[in-house]
Amino acid sequence: MRTYILRRFLQAIPLLLAISLLSFFIMQLSPGSYLDTMRLNPDVSEELIETMKRQYGLDKSVPEQYFHWLWQILHGNLGESFTYQVPVTHVIKTRVVNTMILSFAAMVIAWGLSIPIGIYSATHKYTMGDNIFTSLAFVGLSIPNFFFALLLLFLIVKFNVPLPINGMTSIMYDFMSPIGKFIDILKHLLVPAIVLGTASMATLTRIMRGQMIEAMRSDYIRTARAKGLKNNKVVYKHAFRNAINPMITIFGFQISMLLSGAALTETVTGWPGLGKMMLTAVRSKDLYLAMAGLMIGSVLLIIGNLIADILLAVSDPRIRYS
Amino acid sequence: MDKINQKPRNLKPGNKDYEFWQDTWKRMRRHKMAVIGGTIIIILYLIVIFAGFLAPYNPYKGFKKHFFHPPTKIHFTDEDGLSWPYVYRTESVDWADYEIIRDKKYPIKLFHRGQEYEFLGLFDTNIHLIGVDEPAHLFLLGSDNYGRDLFTRILFGGRVSMFIGFVAIFITTIIGLIVGGIAGYYGGWVDNILMRFAEVIMSIPSFYLLLALAAVLPIDISSTLRFFLIISILSFRGWAGMARVIRGMVLSVRNEDYVLAAEAIGARDPRIIQKHVLPVTTTYVIVRATVSIPGYIIMESGLSFLGLGIQEPNASWGNMLTAAQNVTKITRFPWLLIPGFMIFFAVLSYNLLGDGLRDALDPKVTDSK
């Protein structure tokens, strides 16, 4: 197992290099640079732009820039953000944490609800409850994240629900007690987490239901029932343990979906996460910030897939990595 | 695999395929929801194709004195009971506040002569299905910040949203088939390079990649070019997953007897791939294409919503929602949210259709039901 994890880590290195090359290439294709935008500002002198150009190495050729950037990254330096005028690491650290908080909350909602609903639907196939849940899953699957977020915000304002509609903290946040701070963040988290959570929930419920139905049809379930085991035991000890495996494989995909979905949800709800940062960076052609966003996003994705594989090995003794 | 695919292909040429599709169609019709979804999709396409005729106005025409106008109230009754539907004209009394002036009734006219438009790109005409005479306005779903008719823009915006998914999945499928076919058929280093490249694309969170790519697009390009570039971006992101599955399928039939036989006869590689290998993937490709279209519609609307996709003054359901980004605005002018419901209905219909199609084309599922 340990060698497997090690090997996966080693495999990730060339992958990340290729990702960085591709992203750098794409960012270079982008017309104009941040400095062009600055040049439009009459208050900015030509000398300052020249200094910045040298400082950020933008006067060098593209391959040189790339290797310079790569060399810096290997030393833990992600470069400087043009817009914020601070090292990218400063900007990105809190953003990554915020996105992880949001993704985690969304996952708790999605998994916490979809597994029981999936089991219920599978064991009560084609009943009223199952039909309702299946229809709801279709609705959840079909509603774009950002539109759902807009709708929720609209309802909150319309019906005066005492929930914040923007950002991560209130204005009075700095004066709150630690518990107050925690509750304040939770309140801000609710809308984006529900939006993100329901999106994955729809898919997860459908898969869980399908897997469960398939498991309930297998011979070992018939054997278990023939032995006279209680229904609960058959469902949870026999069927469930086998139905959950494909769900864990999906865990990896879910991270990709969450990161992508988060970008739009964060923009609508003002949650200061990685996706919102990425949008600003891409819009203002903040090269190093955008690169860092792409890289960190990819790293999160690769780690997520690795975790999914490890979890799968833990939950299913038939799977062995060597 | 299932039994249908294992029947020798050349037993009754042409006939077997026919049976298979007839069977699929029969199974498909049993899915009521899929039929409903498919019908709604066809209606939506017809509506957006005939947008110019169905819409009362031109999508770029702004009534400057009637911005954020609520949906026009249509009256069906007057003093003597039931009457032909008519509207009253309105006048602005305050910022985005309008007063109904009941001095004259403006009947809704069928085949009304309004603004010019091009009918299906064939000829110019000014006949609209419905309309009212000025100075009254027929804002069926209200108007936006420039006083443009929302209903008209929804119809025209639907063209973008409905066709982008369609064209994008077409291109994605072609790239996926070519790359997956080549990788699976030749194997070796070709396979290795192509699949590693696919892996790179799949390892970047999709929306981040789309954002970076969309930012590459210059601002001053024509709307048609932009439309096709956005499609290319979506396909660039999308082909990888498809190519990988197709490669796996090709790999599994690569050493089947019929492929080896074709090789032995001396058929050329492209012919073998096209005639003997890729047909195995047909059902997968059809199902995958149908279930992916909603994803493309959502991605396009997301990009346009952020201002990186289709640009003003062209309408798309996504960029129409940009106006609704402000919460105070949507509580005052809730009709700005309607384009979102259109995305929802289109995506929902496609999902229902895709679900039915998947069941109908996968005999494994139907057998056990």
Q: What is the pLDDT of residues B324-362, one digit of tens each?
A: 888 888 888 889 999 999 999 999 999 999 888 887 876
Encode pLDDT of A189-229 as tens digits: 999 999 999 888 888 898 899 889 888 888 988 998 899 88
Structure tokens given for B286: 């059809």
User: By residue range, what is the domain housing residue A225?
Assistant: 95-273
Q: H-helix or E-strand containing B257?
A: helix B257-265
Q: Is the peptide bond before B70 cis (omega within 30 degrees of 0)?
A: no
Q: Tell me which residues of chain A, numbers 173 to 192, contact chain B at a CB-CB cutoff of 8 Å.
A: none
Q: What's the pLDDT score for residue B15?
A: 58
Sequence spans of domains, chain B:
157-368
Average pLDDT over residues A113-117: 92
Q: What is the ipTM of this complex?
A: 0.85
Q: Is the pLDDT of residue B367 over 60?
A: no
Of the given ranges (B14-18, B28-32, B160-164), which has the lowest mean pLDDT?
B14-18
**How distant is the Cα of B298 from the closest Cα of chain A, in angstroms?**
6
Encode pLDDT of A32-82 as tens digits: 677 777 777 777 777 877 877 777 677 777 888 888 888 888 887 777 787
Q: Is the pLDDT of residue B143 over 70?
A: yes
Q: What's the pLDDT score for residue B3?
A: 46
Structure tokens given for A65: 């820039």
CB of B344 within 8 Å of a chain A CB? The answer is: yes
Structure tokens given for A93: 């650290």
CB of B324 within 8 Å of a chain A CB? The answer is: yes
Is A61 part of a structural domain of the chain?
no
Q: HSE-up of A45 (CA within 13 Å, CB side)?
A: 3
Q: Is the pLDDT of residue A17 over 60?
A: yes
**Whole-angstrom distance, CA of residue A294 vs CA of residue A69:** 14
Encode pLDDT of A147-163 as tens digits: 999 999 999 988 888 88
3-class SS of residue B141: coil
CB of A296 within 8 Å of a chain B CB? The answer is: no
CATH 3.90.1150.10 fits domain B157-368: no
Q: What is the CATH number of the domain that holds A239?
A: 1.10.3720.10
b/e code B305-339 from CB counts within 10 Å (16+ = b): bbbbbbeeebbbbbbbbbbbbebebbeebebbbbb
Structure confidence at residue B31 as a pLDDT band (50, 70, 90): confident
Handedness of CA B107, B113, B115, B119 (dihedral sign): positive
Encode pLDDT of A277-299 as tens digits: 888 888 888 888 888 888 888 98
Average pLDDT over residues B160-169: 89
**Whole-angstrom distance, CA of residue B344 vs CA of residue A261:** 16
Q: Is the pLDDT of residue B1 over 70?
A: no
**How distant is the Cα of A142 from the closest Cα of chain B, in angstroms?**
5
Encode pLDDT of B193-225 as tens digits: 999 899 899 888 888 888 888 888 877 788 888
Top residue of A250, A282, A284, A300 to mutate, by most chain B CBs within 10 Å, is: A282
Structure confidence at residue B364 as a pLDDT band (50, 70, 90): low
Structure confidence at residue B18 as a pLDDT band (50, 70, 90): low
Q: What's chain A's average pLDDT?
A: 85
Average pLDDT over residues B57-80: 84
Top residue of B32, B193, B199, B211 to mutate, by most chain A CBs within 10 Å, is: B211
Structure confidence at residue B291 as a pLDDT band (50, 70, 90): confident
Q: What's the pLDDT score for residue A26?
A: 84
Residues of chain B positioned with their CB less than 8 A from the CB of A301? 203-205
What length does chain B have?
369
Is A248 part of a structural domain of the chain?
yes
3-class SS of residue B85: strand
**Inter-chain Cβ pairs, chain A and chain B, closer than 8 A:** 131
Give B23 or A221, the one with higher predicted confidence. A221
| A162 Cβ neighbours under 8 A, 6+ residues apart | none
Beta bridge mates, B117: B125
Q: H-helix or E-strand containing A53?
A: helix A46-55
The answer to whether B96 and B333 are in contact (CB under 8 A) is yes
